[in-house]
Structure 1
Amino acid sequence: MDRKTKILIVEDEMIIAANISLQLNELGYEVTGIVPRGEEALMHIKSELPDILLLDINLKGTLDGIETAREMQKTYDIPVIYLTANADEAHFNRARETHPYGFITKPFKKLDLQRAIELTITQIDLKVKNINGTDPNEEGLILSDCIFVRHLNSMVKVNIKDILYIEAERNYCRIFTKRKEYLLVLTLKEMDKKLPSKHFHRIHRSFIVNLSQIEEIATSHIVIGRKPIPISKSIKKELLQRLQTI
């Protein structure tokens, strides 16, 4: 069964936000949360990474929607769809600098929302396919102490010791460090084969963890970077044996 697309709603008009959430659930998407402020959105993303950000431009608070997107993009690469009741040229030009995947003008119909999200998912998949068409050696060069990953238009060095965990997303995976996350066009199975085994262990069908970054081992999960990651009883036993040897 395919994983549901996760969407975070950042909207300070709660009636509108609740209505959007209801529509998204009816369309088969998973709403990771509804938050009214940009600052809260940035905190939410740290603990529950969405696939798409539905972001109202005219947020109250310290950060408006466009400034929230800019702050988010310093660390994450999450597609943004803006919601706006004010589609004037000035707002559009400011918003365009953050390279959004779409705009939805209020008031909007369920079909407008559906089409914007479907187009965004299509663009994400196309982006992944385009990256897949590049030289595989350029996409993810895995060495004994670091990984070179494509980030925007260049190859970035990520030290093995700085990686917290790696999470599967469809046919690619996300590498999480304390400061940034990177998209890599490899399945988690392929990633598991290439990573230096002395540092990493696959503890779930969707997660590979850096053994040195484990902060807590609970009954049914471990904690890394304040994120709980599920683990089965059999793999937990295997993990404890691994930890005794490093």
Structure 2
Amino acid sequence: MTKGKKILIVEDEMVISLEIAATLKRLGYEVAGQAITGIEALRLVEETDPDLILMDIRLKGDMDGIEAACQVSDRFDLPVIFLTAHSDEVTLERAIAVSPSGYLIKPFKDRELYSSIELALHKHEIRQRIRPEKIVREVQSDLVHLSGVSALVISPRGIVIRANQNACDLLETDQADLCGTRITAWICSDTATADTPPVTEGSILPCNVAIRSQKGTIRKVSIETGFIAGEEGRIQGYLLVITPV
């Protein structure tokens, strides 16, 4: 066991957080801190320099655990294990897209927690040695710097993972409402034909479609699609650039 490793707990239910802290101490780990919001978690990461983060997906405030984990990966490159009572498909796909080091469904047993932590720490140590590609993370981080275009990152099955402000403005929505939805939900159904299949594994969006914003505005757009390849060349998602026509 990697004794003495510091672990940050991000959990907005204090009773659960205290139970996890007690379990970690019993297993020989050090509790770096306890946060109830994503913003507080980022602050504590800077202050305490943990070795691993246990992150609840549903948090208080505007930033959920998945968004907080994205920022942790972008800024600190630390292993994150998601803790959640929610195992629905959309939540799972959003979580997987962040490339977490583990995913535990509540309630979990001490042994499950221990095994997940040890495996995550071991995998992270190996990753630090070989420095594999981090293309998905870099693309998601770079979205905020793209100007003049509307860009989104979607999972291989068409779930929106990240979007820049231009894309949110085009769809008249915000990041919180856009992420977790299927990209096909924003495409007008009357523009779909046999030649324009929805995004699923193995198929990509058509080039020219009409989209309907959250407020009902319909616009014709051109969509350019690029593959996002991860380790060993496996497709981890798509980058979509949407241009009004």
TM-score for both structures, normalised by structure 1: 0.51
Alpha-carbon distance between aligned partners in 2 of 1:4 and 1:91, rounded to the nearest angstrom:
32
Find the aligned partners of 1:124 and 1:73 in 2 and give their Cα distance.
12
List aligned pairs for 1:141-220, cutoff 5 A.
152=133
1:179-224 CA-partner distances (Å, limit 9, x unpaired): xxxxxxxxxxxxxxxxxxxxxxxxxxxxxxxxxxxxxxxxxxxxxx
The equivalent of 1:118 in structure 2 is 118
Kept after mapping to 1: 8 A contact 2:3/2:29 = no
The whole-number CA distance in structure 2 between the counterparts of 1:45 and 1:151 is: 23
| 1:73 Cα deviation from its structure 2 partner | 2.0
- Write the distance in 2 (CA, Å) between the matches of 1:12 and 1:125: 29
- The match for 1:88 is 88
Instruction: Answer yes or no: is the 8 Å Cα contact 2:79–2:121 preserved in 1.
Output: no
Distance in 2, Cα, partners of 1:3 & 1:108: 21
SS in 1 for 2:75: coil
Q: 1:152 to 1:77 in 2, by over 3 A?
A: farther
Structure with the bigger RCO (C-alpha within 8 Å, sep 6+) is: 2
The alpha-carbon distance between structure 1 residues 104 and 3, as it changes in their structure 2 partners (threshold 3 A), is closer
Contact 2:17 2:34 in 1 (8 A): yes
Task: Look up the match of 1:36.
Answer: 36
Query: Which is richer in strand?
Result: 1
Equivalence map 1:70-81=2 (5 Å)? 70-81=70-81
Work out the CA distance in 2 between the residues paired with 1:3 and 1:117: 11
Residues 78-125 of structure 1, C-alpha deviation per residue, up to 9 Å, x if partnerless? 001000100111001001111001111001111111111011122123
Partner of 1:74: helix, strand, or coil?
Answer: helix
Relative distance call for 1:73 and 1:153 in structure 2 (3 A) is closer
CA RMSD of aligned residues (A): 1.9
Per-residue CA deviations over 1:52-71 (Å, capped at 9, x if unaligned) read: 01000011211000011112
Shift of 1:49: 1.1
Number of equivalences: 134
Query: Partners of 2:127 and 2:76 in 1: how far apart?
Result: 16
Counterpart CA distance in 1 for 2:70 and 2:117 is 20
**CA distance 1:14–1:63, change in 2 (3 Å):** same
Residue aligning to 1:18: 18
Residue 56 of structure 2 is matched in structure 1 by 56
Indicate the SS of the match to 2:58: coil
Shift in Å at residue 151 of structure 1? 8.4
Quick one: distance in 2 between partners of 1:106 and 1:153? 29
C-alpha distance in structure 2 between counterparts of 1:152 and 1:40, whole Å: 29
Q: What's the counterpart of residue 204 of structure 1?
A: none
Aligned to 1:181: none
Question: How far did residue 127 of structure 1 move?
Answer: 2.4
* 2:64 partner letter: D
Offset at 1:152?
4.7
Where structure 2 has 5 or more consecutive residues not aligned to the other structure, the ranges are 136-245
Percent of pairs identical after alignment?
43
- Distance in 2 between the 1:79 and 1:85 partners? 20
Cα distance in 1, alignment partners of residues 20 and 3 from structure 2: 20
Whether contact under 8 Å (2:3, 2:28) holds in the other structure is no
TM-score (norm 2): 0.52
User: Which deviations, in whole Å up to 9, do the C-alpha atoms of 1:25-52 show, x marking residues without a partner?
Assistant: 0111111001111100011111111110
1:16 alignment partner, SS class: helix
Which sections of structure 1, spanning at least 5 residues, go unmatched? 132-149, 155-246
